[in-house]
Amino acid sequence: MNTDSKLEQLSRRNFFKKTAQYSVGAIAAASVLSPVTMRADDPAIMEEKEWGTTLGDPVTKNKYGMPSVYEHNNTRRITKLLSSGNWQASIAMCPIHEQEGIITPNGLFFSRSHGGTAQIDPNEHRLMIHGLVEKPIVLTMDELKRYPSVTRIHFIECPANGGPEWRGPQFNSIQFAKGMMSCAQWTGVYVKTILEDLGLKPEALWMLAEGADNSHMGRTIPVDKVLDDAMIVWAQNGEALRPEQGYPIRILLPGWEGNLCVKWLNRLEFSAEPFYAKEETSKYTGLLPSGKAIQHFYPLEVNSIITSPCPEKPWTDLKKGDLVEIRGLAWSGQGTITGVDISFDGGKNFVEASLTGLVLPKSWTNFSYMYRYEGKPLLLQSRSRDDSGNVQPTIDQETAVVGVEHVYHRNSICTWEVTAKGEVNNVHIRS
Ligand SMILES: Nc1nc2c(c(=O)[nH]1)N[C@H]1C(S)=C(S)[C@@H](COP(=O)(O)O)O[C@H]1N2
Ligand SMILES: [Mo]
């Protein structure tokens, strides 16, 4: 059998399987989609507009291009509720409801720092690599960039993303409830490549990464992860890192807690024993209902969120019978997304969404489902799975294991309540 007919058979099989599962307002995959009402007599098409009758801006206007002024609402956002009393040790949340595709524009990447955004002169900056290596070294930024480079797409997520909501919804906003994450294409060098040159001693089991910013934030990372896929990155989406992301360099631990990805990186120290930075002994652990805590849990679990509709993108303009695309993001720090299911009734029944665009390990992945709007109240959910066999848990499943004092690593299924008017609210479903 040739590949084409095999594919055809497969898709037919999926088609029948899916149509059998379809419930409320679902669209058969083979039907012709016509999401807009046909209208060929819109007079706006005939109007002569100002931008068509006068000259546009000269190319000298923006040496560094900016978004259209009409996109002024698409910004990072801050709230006093998520700052520790000052705007230096704080967080600016990513507008993930405006996200198209899987690459977050650099100016919208979420930004979290403990001591403000350092403005570093790259000529003055150095990276020291020392401890249990044969050949300790201090590198300038130019020297670092002489090592062979790699380019990879990965998300960064603060493990506290969604953390304020363990006990119940706090924000009727996707940006504040889930915007402590972003995804970018990173360019840099694998730490293992540099270590081949420097020679890692066999006793080395841990690596301390430390930043040059005011917080001098340090995190200790198991050497296995370092030798797997840890990168020192200097570029983000085709240009130098932004200051907010750690210019001139940061460490990237794909799929692991965002706080391990030390920005403004200037020291890596290899050791036999973990050298815990002071915040690591009390913070970044997982408190369990028993009173015990998990000290080491670094990879972020399988997760997903519907970005359209959401509280910021309601369905209030839709009419009964309209076709609408449900869109969202799925990601896992433990592998590649293999599928996403959508529920309209708070998790009782599910149908399968399609994954659209690039499907990459430890990266955001887009999903889509065409839905016939019925103007009825819904409890919308997405549930993702990955190729390590993980399935996104319900709130009950998650809290049964980790309780509600846990703060970090919240990955349970989110629910949007869609009202009869098409408004969207952040709600929690518990049995
Ligand atoms: N040097 C340094 N690195 C740091 C931090 C910091 O305050 N200082 N914050 C960490 C935290 S808590 C997170 S979640 C990520 C956020 O990365 P971003 O600001 O690029 O989104 O950076 C981490 N790296
Ligand atoms: Mo964080």
Tell me: domain 303-427, CATH 2.60.40.650, correct? yes
Residue 292's contacts (CB-CB under 8 Å, 6 or more residues apart) are none
Instruction: Give the pLDDT score at 4.
Output: 47
Question: In testing the pocket of ligand 1, which one of 88, 106, 112 has its CB within 8 Å of the most ligand atoms?
Answer: 112
Average pLDDT over residues 174-182: 98
3-state secondary structure of 200: strand
31: pLDDT strictly greater than 80: no
* Distance (Å, whole) CA 219 – CA 208: 6
For ligand 1, say whether the CB of 218 is within 6 Å of any of its atoms: no
* Distance (Å, whole) CA 115 – CA 159: 19
For residue 296, name the pLDDT band (cuts at 50, 70, 90).
low
124: pLDDT strictly greater than 90: yes
Instruction: Give the pLDDT score at 20.
Output: 39
Q: How far is the CA of 17 from the centre of ligand 1 (A)?
A: 44
Closest listed ligand to the CA of 244: 1
For 319-329, write each residue's pLDDT tens digit: 999 999 999 99
Range(s) of the chain covered by CATH 2.60.40.650: 303-427
Q: In Å, how far are 9, 215, 230, 273, 381 from 355, measured between CA atoms?
A: 19, 40, 27, 43, 16
Average pLDDT over residues 38-57: 89
Instruction: Give the pLDDT score at 40.
Output: 80
Residue 161's contacts (CB-CB under 8 Å, 6 or more residues apart) are 178, 179, 180, 181, 410
Strand segments, DSSP code E, in 309-359 are 323-331, 337-343, 351-352, 354-356
Instruction: Give the pLDDT score at 278.
Output: 55
- Could you tell me what percent of the chain has a pLDDT over 70? 89
pTM score of the predicted model: 0.90
Instruction: Give the pLDDT score at 153.
Output: 98
Average pLDDT over residues 268-273: 96
Instruction: Quickly count helices (H) and strands (E) in the chain.
Output: 8, 23
For residue 36, name the pLDDT band (cuts at 50, 70, 90).
confident
C-beta atoms surrounding 25 within 10 Å: 16
Average pLDDT over residues 31-54: 83
Q: How far is the CA of 429 from the centre of ligand 2 (A)?
A: 26
**Spatial CA neighbour of 95 closest among 357, 305, 381, 378:** 305
Range(s) of the chain covered by CATH 3.90.420.10: 83-284
Closest listed ligand to the CA of 211: 1
Burial class (CB in 10 A: 0-12, 13-18, 19+), 336: middle
For 379-397, write each residue's pLDDT tens digit: 999 999 999 999 999 999 9
**Spatial CA neighbour of 170 closest among 79, 304, 285:** 79
| DSSP element (H, E) containing 113 | strand 111-113
Tell me: domain 83-284, CATH 3.40.50.1820, correct? no
My answer on whether omega of the bond before 309 falls inside 30° of 0, hence cis, is: yes
- Residue 192, CB half-sphere, CA atoms under 13 Å: how many? 10
Place of tokens 């931008």: 51
3: pLDDT strictly greater than 50: no
